[in-house]
Chain A
Amino acid sequence: MKLTKEQIEELYAFTRKHYVVHYDLQTELVDHLSNGIEEQWQQNPNLSFDNALGVEFKKFGVFGFMDVVEKRQKAMNKRYRKILFRFVKEWFQLPKLLTTIAIFMGFFLVLHLKQASYVLMGSILILVAVDFYHQFKRRKKEKKQKQKKEKLFMLEAMIGDTRNGFSVITFSNVFNIVNTMRFNFSDLHSYWLALIAIAATLLCLTFYITSYVMPSKAKELLEETYPEYNLI
């Protein structure tokens, strides 16, 4: 006896009820539960769907799917970092390397100025303003599409969330640090300034990649990660 389409849908609902939010993991668990239920039916065809599901779910232990979800998130973080690193690497190869060097030199020279902290704070404010404007425009566009979309993949959510969280949190933190210290950067030794400039350059690159490059390539990245992406 095989499961019907309706029962498969019920299984999806069951995983959602047990805090499996993302479609990729839901799909894998639904197939697993289905196999288990069908196996039980082979031995005992009179068993009800709900009872068989109960037996299968128990095998996951007292915490249900929680452990699987948590570990899956951890594994996906690793993949996200790998993808990010792949993009960052591009900026250390020609021709993008020239831009990276220019950004670094920009920071390095500005840090030598007496008014360095004001220039930095001003730039951060402008950056955040520009980024807010872009996000606002994008969200408006997304709102229209979102109503149709309920199958959310984990990596997809991560690309979106990082994009939403990164600029505001990171830059307001940097802003606060610079603001409270009112630090006279130009007093520091050039080695330190170079180090700060490197950190700032890396921060800018990470921000640009996670906020603009990865979202714009989201479709390709998802197809690469999920073979089922085009099947649904």
Chain B
Amino acid sequence: MGNSKLYKGSLNTIILKLLEEKGKMYGYEITQKVKELTKGELKITEGALYPALHKLEAEGLLDVEVAKVDNRLRKYYKLTEAGEKETVNRLAELEEFIRSMQNLVNPKWSIE
């Protein structure tokens, strides 16, 4: 929890990656899934998740679908075609970042 700042910059990428795997998801499901995957280490706060989703939607990376579930409307998010391409880019970027970080933090792990 204390190091959640480190995750913050990657929130968009995490969302894209999850949607790539699961197809379509709704907001609450995303928060739960992230909690489950990181064993509670990373808790996406509600105040951060929805703005991120809305921003990705406005950028045309996500598309929405609405279905009626138990007396209420549920909004599902899924990747658009542009979103799929962007996911690949951002994951590559993130991996690159992780690699540089490893080199910085522990030079012994460097490939050279």
Contacts and interface: CB of A to CB of B under 8 A. Distances in A.
B85 interface: no
B58 A78 contact: yes
Interface string A54-71: 000001110100011001
Contacts, number: 81
Nearest to A79: B58
Given A72-B54, A75-B54, A8 B65 contact: no
Given A34-B72, A35-B28, A61 B58 contact: no
Contacts of A61: 45-47
Contact of B72 (A31, A71, A76, A227): A31
A31 B64 contact: no
A71 B45 CA distance: 15
B8 interface: no
Given A31-B74, A31-B75, A228-B73, A68 B50 contact: yes
B86 interface: no
B28 A31 contact: yes
A32 B55 contact: no
B61 to A, nearest CB: 12
Interface in B56-90: 57-59, 64-66, 68-75
A86 interface: no
A2 interface: yes
Q: A interface, by DSSP: helix, strand, loop or mixed? A: helix
A166 to B, nearest CB: 22
Contact of B46 (A3, A31, A60): A60
A32 B73 contact: no
Contacts of B27: 28, 31-32
B9 interface: no
Contacts of B47: 60-61, 63, 67-68
Contacts of B57: 75
A53 B52 CA distance: 23
A72 B28 contact: no
Contacts of A39: 32
Interface in B26-54: 26-29, 32, 45-47, 50-51, 54
Interface in A26-60: 27-32, 34-36, 39, 59-60
Interface string A68-89: 1001101110110010000000
B96 to A, nearest CB: 28
Contact of B26 (A4, A31, A78): A31
A36 B29 CA distance: 10
Contacts of B74: 31
A83 to B, nearest CB: 11
A4 B32 CA distance: 23
Given A31-B26, A232-B73, 4 more contacts: A63-B47, A72-B50, A76-B58, A228-B75
Interface of B: 26-29, 32, 45-47, 50-51, 54-55, 57-59, 64-66, 68-75
Interface of A: 2-5, 8, 27-32, 34-36, 39, 59-61, 63, 67-68, 71-72, 74-76, 78-79, 82, 226-228, 231-232
